[in-house]
Structure 1
Amino acid sequence: MTMPTWDQTMFPIMKELSDGNVHTAKHLRERVIETFAMTADEQGETLKSGQSRISNRVYWGLTDLRKAELIENAGKRGSYRITENGQVFLNAHRDGFALEELESVPAFIAWKRGYLARNIELKGSQTSDLNNADATSHSDELTPEDLLEKASEQLNEALAAELLDRIMANDPYFFERLVTRLILSLGYGDLSQTTSSEITKKSGDGGIDGVVRLDRLGLDSVYIQAKRWNRDHVVGRPDIQGFVGALVGNGAQRGVFITTSRFSEEARRYAEESMRSSNLSVVLIDGMTLTKLMIEYNVGVSVKTSYEVKAVDSDFFDNE
């Protein structure tokens, strides 16, 4: 079906708890999965932290239901039960409810006012209407972790664009050094022992710009084609044909074509066909992929700020 948003998990959670019994978060998550007929792929989705996305959304659904005092912890770790107020609320919303209805619950309003008082700097005479202020702990559809991921993606997109601008503003020799550093950072060769001089430059040698020796004897190598072309340039099939031909001519099995521009669909298709029909392994890296790899492997970038997201250490509180 589809991945439910965090607030969509609340109604099936409440329905399951309506029997008055104690249920674990795991059991409630399984009921949400059944309700939305989630596929195996959807169930397998994770956040960048490695946490299950659906588990994260169920967690925040449970969190807001507890803020509204519609459910409560049942003593045992990760276990919940419905409250008397929860039963009354569910009886009034048997066909379902959304965040708007939850925000009308007195306990949730009280929590929201406290949140505002602690976290929002009121302006002027501080006579702002707390009920009208937008101070929910997360958006209607995204959990705080989702928002962190989204913000990280937006920052990285802006950083990638800036990196490409910087690359294009530098001379070709800088690009050669960049390619060397990136290839070594990707694990081709030993970064701690290999120097730039060990990238054997072969400009004009039948479509090969350089060779990375993966071992000291040079028995295994990766052949490189690096082109610093304008971003509006399109690398076509003939360019890849020439590169593949050069690989075959040199008896190579691995090649990486790196460009600051982009590849045409025909070029990508030809590279895929070449790998299927031979023992060749050809990797195409365009401008956006290049900058994303630079960010991932910390080439030309440094960490500006780090945020730690902490969770309860369940073992600490487990007396069993």
Structure 2
Amino acid sequence: MEKFENLSKIGQENVVMPRIIETLKRLGGRAGRNELMIEVVSNADDIPDEYAKSMRTSKNGNDYLPFQYTFNFAVKNLILAEFMIRPERSVLELTEKGRTFNLASFDAESDVRKISGPKWKENSERKQKKGKKKGSKAARNVKEFDNDDQVDEWRDQLAIALSQFTPAKFELFARLLIKNMGVTLDENIGMKLSGDGGLDGYGYLTTDDFRTARVAIQAKRWNGLVSSPEIDKFRGAMDKYNAEYGVFITTSDFTRDAIHASRVGTRVITLINGDKIADLVAKFKLHVQPVTTYVLDEYYEGSE
């Protein structure tokens, strides 16, 4: 089989589509879009995680994730072919067809594109007609048909801002994040700023039944993927301070081997990547303000 990175865009989408259905079944038939994409990449051996998680810079100087476009187009095709629906913003759910389909006989061309293709064309023509009335041209891109398919702009802004933090400021940010997760930070361990060669934070988590556990924190403001040796090194630091739990935070992401390494042994290490950082920033409202907006549905389209 040809390597995933050497396939055409359509060929890559065809590989991703059954992986999406398979992963969504494993997640109970319903999941958030970001969670689903992360799980697909983490568990699909035929999709290299280094390739899927690599960032590129556009001609305009903006960083983007090419695989995200592949994933979004695969999702859109599956929606148009009625394998899944979007019950609410950024949430995907399998239909009865998606839940019961035998993936052993899945063929992307006959099972999906034969159905989704005419709908892409119909929607494109409708958008072009609408664009001509407004004196503009509609283009097929990842944002064309659904506002729900758009990546939240504030997440991109957050990623850029964090990438520009100094190592010391990012460690402070990581401690703020952990503190809001319910961890009481130790005043001595891990409080030395970057370059200490040890932990970036240490604290104590008390559960509802009043049991207290020691938590070690590692924060990496990286552009590349965090590999398994970094996880092993962190586990060694956990041993030094007898930590029962570990939290590894990075602005980038983790390789598949790093994810597996985090789950080895009796002490699982919680991994927080750039996407999860954004989720937590939103949850705890860390220096962000929520904005409410509205999206018009199809009722307002057309003149009839």
State the TM-score bracket (shorter-chain normalisation). Answer: 0.3 to 0.5
TM-score by length of 1: 0.43
Greater radius of gyration (CA)? 1
TM-score by length of 2: 0.45
